[in-house]
Amino acid sequence: MPVASHCLLVLYGSQTGTAHDVAERIVREAKRRHFSSRASAMDAYNIANLIEEQLVIFVCSTTGQGDTPDNMKNFWKFLLRKELPSSSLKKMQFAVLGLGDSSYQKYNVVGKRLQKRLEQLGGHPILALGLADDQHDLGVDAVVTPWLKDLWDAVLSQYPLPPGIDIISSDICPPSKYKVKFIEKFSIVGDDIEKYQHNESTGDPNQKKAGPLCPFHARLLSNNRVTSPDHFQDVRLIKMDISGSSIRYNPGDVVMVQPQNMPETVESLLETLGQDPTKTFLLEENDPDIPLPPNFPRPCTVGWLLTNYLDFNSVPRRSFFELLKYHAHDELEREKLEEFCSPQGQEELYTYCNRVKRTILEILQDFSKASAAIPFEYLFDLIPPLQPRAFSIASSPTAHPGELHVLMAVVNYRTKLHLPRRGVCSTWLSSLRPEDGPTRIPIWVKHGTIKFPADSSLPLIMVGPGTGLAPFRSVIHDRCAANISGNVLFFGCRSKLKDYYCADEFEKYKERGLLKFFTAFSRDQEEKVYVQHKILEEGEMIFHKISNENASFYIAGNAKSMPDDVKGALIEVISRYGNMTSGEATQYVHDLERQRRFQVEAWS
């Protein structure tokens, strides 16, 4: 196959895998246009080489309240260095595609900032900044697909194909990312599979620092439901043993959990694909631009792959259908998949897939003939890897030495589909029982969005309805263990009898005078009462602590409307008790935010 001499680099910052998926899509399309192309996480790329790159496509998501993804933080920090000359990237042509969610206040701010900074350093944009919105009816693809069409028009106008060379037809299946070599007469069964779970660490004090490539396998201590048995939501307080590990954390930090797929879903996929879980294989490179997954087991069993690596219970992205259609030899299945991939079929695809949260497993079962024809090595192209899940740490390193706690709602809801939708990680964690034998959970810790002040004498005002309580449980236990007062907590839930978790802990601190504790039980009376109403009721005290005692104000919880409602209540409090106009009070809160005295950790 003739290959043009042009190189195209795709750098991505991805938190949940969407930006990574788009980056791989760009690489596939670049190779159809005979470009030498590869994708890399920004922090995995040697940034010193950026000054020599001629053509770079950046794909980056915005996380939390305007934060960069974890695998982009060092890259971004380097780009912000003041000593970088304004001509640093004068050789580089680039385009930026931002992936965001307009339900968050700082929508797509990472993509916007990256675009601006690249231009400040002398880079030349070949296309306008793309801003994709996960809230769109068609998801990010509503922007990604037309943006990519414009991208290739711009790229080929700058770097035309050599005479006689045509774009490889989209009817031709691209080569698989990896090769698979099955090993005959070699099988792993039962407990023996544990020794192939790479880098397992169970408490060796000399181990490497726990991280994504080397998680610490924490022993499960307890797994208790903290909502009443008849409550609609199952919330768990999970305690893990981290004694003897390298893990150190502070209140406000986040624990990353690498989940497993549930056995019954693994069995279903094995049956759908017609695979034997004990079959053993070696994964090998098939493209010099695509390295093997780091620390992938050699050898690996099919059972381990489906249990620990492939995220087949996720809702697929459009690229899944684009790749599956190459293996659909049945005429009806192929026609339907091609329709899903066409511009005219996007609404039907959304109705079939995204609106009801249909999983990859269920789609493979629907398109059973195509599934049966998938070459095994293409599973790595079709199904994304399982991503770690982040939970605010709910324990205190002082009050709970050698332990790490998670306060977690089990994701379980219904759509029009027969089976309920279940969260992979929360379902797996909730199924674990210490009495069933030694259970180890792969974890590591990273800094969270919330950072509490180093000066522990300063008061904290914390608003944490539902599982937003987690980071505040951590810091309250930590401060109260040292007899530090000045803690104010607003907690909200539906009912005092149903989901008022950890109440006894906070009542104890309240009795000792270490904690002011206010509750909002929204369904226990005719009129609904939320935390923002309690903020207004206690406005005078709140304003006094902020204006006279240098208190910081924190919000944690669901991102839908609560953070904005609480912020609005705070602005009203400051306006009322600070004798300010609404505009002045809004600016006052903005100044608190700039000083890190107003912080929000929200999730959707």
Residue ranges of the annotated binding site for FMN are 14-19, 61-64, 99-108, 134
Q: Please spell the DSSP secondary structure of 543-604, one letter per residue.
A: HHHHHHS--EEEEEEESSSHHHHHHHHHHHHHHHHTT--HHHHHHHHHHHHHTTSEEEEEE-
Q: Which residues does residue 99 pair with via DSSP β-bridges, in sequence order?
A: 61, 132
The DSSP secondary-structure symbol of 290 reads S
Assigned token pair, 163: 């005479």
Assigned token pair, 347: 């609404």
Is the bond leading into 299 cis (omega within 30 degrees of zero)? yes
Q: Which residues are annotated as a binding site for FAD?
A: 389-392, 423-426, 603
Measured distance CA(268)–CA(365) in Å, rounded: 9
Q: What is the CA radius of gyration of the chain?
A: 26
- Strand ranges (DSSP E) for 414-454? 421-422, 440-446
Task: Find, among 541, 544, 569, the residue nearest to 555 by Cα.
Answer: 569
Using CA atoms, how far residue 271 sits from 154, 359, 363, 364, in Å, is 45, 16, 14, 11
Q: Which residues are annotated as a binding site?
A: 14-19, 61-64, 99-108, 134, 389-392, 423-426, 467, 522-523, 528-532, 565, 603
Task: Find, among 70, 71, 119, 69, the residue nearest to 95 by Cα.
Answer: 119
Alpha carbon 286 to its chain's center: 28
Measured distance CA(513)–CA(440) in Å, rounded: 38
Measured distance CA(147)–CA(175) in Å, rounded: 24
Measured distance CA(419)–CA(415) in Å, rounded: 8
First to last CA, the chain: 46
Cα three-residue angle 112-116-119, rounded to 5 degrees: 145
Assigned token pair, 131: 């801003």
- The greatest distance separating any two alpha carbons of the chain, rounded to the nearest whole angstrom, comes to 83
Please give the single-letter amino acid code of residue 473: R
Q: Which residues are annotated as a binding site for NADP(+)?
A: 467, 522-523, 528-532, 565
Using CA atoms, how far residue 221 sits from 237, 239, 424, in Å, is 11, 5, 21
